[in-house]
Amino acid sequence: MKPVELKKDIYWVGAVDWNIRDFHGYSTYKGTTYNCYLIKDEKTVLFDTVKKGFFSDLMHRLYNIMDPKEIDYLVVSHVEMDHSGSLQEAIELIQPEKVFCSPLAYKAIQGHFHPTDWPLEVVKTGDTLELGAHSVNFLETRMVHWPDSMFSYIPQEKILISNDGFGLHWATSERFDDEVNGGELMRHAAKYYANILLLYSPLIQKILAQVADMGLEIDMIAPDHGVIWRKDPGMIIRAYDTWSQQKATNKALVIYDTMWKSTETMAKAIYDGILDEGVSAKLINLECTHRSEIMTEVLDARALVFGSATLNNGMLPRMADILHYMKGLKPTGKLCAAFGSYGWSGEAPKMITSALEDMKLEVVSEPLRINYVPDHDSLKPCRELGQKIGKMVAADNLPPACEDVYCET
């Protein structure tokens, strides 16, 4: 298994996981990578290890460069097991002189591994590690997305090793952004942001400002998942700036689950009403769309309309799932409404409305309900609701929606 050279004496030595399909409820339907980086110098350092089960991939790549036992230092950017699951094996085999980690990673290492004699050394923001021709500047990035997360910057080569930041779940044989389809790349990056980082958006704004204040020149961003950004690293930084401000586009989503198609019929009428106002809309059936794909669409949508039939005096289970998932990710700045067909009790639209209010989203209409099966006349309020929402979105004069969720025009 071959390493890939980023710049002279700096290598990608990670693993590609073609088979993972679920990452804590996130659909990794195209797999992922666990990236590790090696800098060969007077002192040689390995940044991160890999998920348990991929240790031999890491070692095979390292053996193509050097005997892993000659590595002097390890850096633990983050203790989550997709990057540190092989840490114990790596320390036992390499016997490093030092293992560098942030103060909070030090605590997390105790909690995960209970080490007795590891040569741990805590580094903080502003600390520098000298390797010879290269040095490493550390920058703690707390809660992006774990308390212990940390960036490493190599000033001589202008490379930012960004841990989970700027990552994406996509298994590819290519290692660089300019080797893959750009639209698909940004779609995966947006999905990753929407499902992992969205709730930390205020912190990400601060980190982006901190990086700008530090005046770091960046030629490459090397994250721990997905491809390395070298074509235009500024683009993913600008995308993070846009996403962390939760900037919307001229787009509304109608997200629904249905029992016997009555709620679906309502959804279609609402969707038509939105289109009447010249707003881009998507009709999303929860039965056939994964929650993490929906969150990717939510990222740049201005309006969200949720519909569910009533089952057992409540909303349908898939609606509860997406609302619960979305609540944790803390989207902001959305116009919302709820609807649904019902037979006798009809609680679902009211329960959805209360869930949306609980998320502090702007509910723009009373819950809209239709008893049993809608006919042409009873669909009129649905189309009007769509038009009302469409008018509100159109009034914001937002940029057009982009299929990749982020486009620079």
Report the catalytic residues: 24, 78, 80, 82, 145, 164, 192, 225
Q: H/E element holding 151?
A: strand 150-154
Comparison of 186 and 196: residue with beta carbon closer to ligand FEO: 196
d(CA 391, CA 275) in angstroms, rounded, equals: 10
| Phi-psi sector, 301: left (phi>0), alpha (psi -120 to 50), beta | beta
**Residue 164 lies near ligand FEO (rule: CB under 6 A):** yes
**Residue 293 lies near ligand FEO (rule: CB under 6 A):** no
Written as one string, the DSSP assignment of 233-260 is HHHHHHHHHHHHTT---SEEEEEEE-SS
| Contact window for ligand FEO (CB under 6 A) among 75-83, 127-135, 287-295, 305-313 | 75-83
Out of 41, 57, 80, 277, point to the residue binding ligand FEO (CB under 6 A).
Answer: 80
Comparison of 94 and 108: residue with beta carbon closer to ligand FEO: 108
| Contact window for ligand FEO (CB under 6 A) among 76-84, 152-160, 198-206, 309-317 | 76-84
Closest among 305, 310, 318 to 348, alpha carbons compared: 310
d(CA 101, CA 88) in angstroms, rounded, equals: 14
**Residue 78 lies near ligand FEO (rule: CB under 6 A):** yes
Cβ 225 to ligand FEO shortest distance, Å: 6
d(CA 142, CA 96) in angstroms, rounded, equals: 26
Comparison of 78 and 134: residue with beta carbon closer to ligand FEO: 78
Out of 82, 177, 257, 277, point to the residue binding ligand FEO (CB under 6 A).
Answer: 82
Q: Which of residues 96-155 bind ligand FEO (CB under 6 A)?
A: 145-146
Comparison of 145 and 175: residue with beta carbon closer to ligand FEO: 145
**Residue 257 lies near ligand FEO (rule: CB under 6 A):** no
Residue nearest to ligand FEO (CB): 80
**Residue 83 lies near ligand FEO (rule: CB under 6 A):** yes
Helices (H), 76-217: 81-84, 87-94, 103-113, 182-192, 201-214
Out of 140, 148, 224, 300, point to the residue binding ligand FEO (CB under 6 A).
Answer: 224
d(CA 223, CA 229) in angstroms, rounded, equals: 8
**Residue 40 lies near ligand FEO (rule: CB under 6 A):** no
What dihedral angle (degrees, nearest 10) is formed by the CA atoms of 158, 159, 164, 170? 130
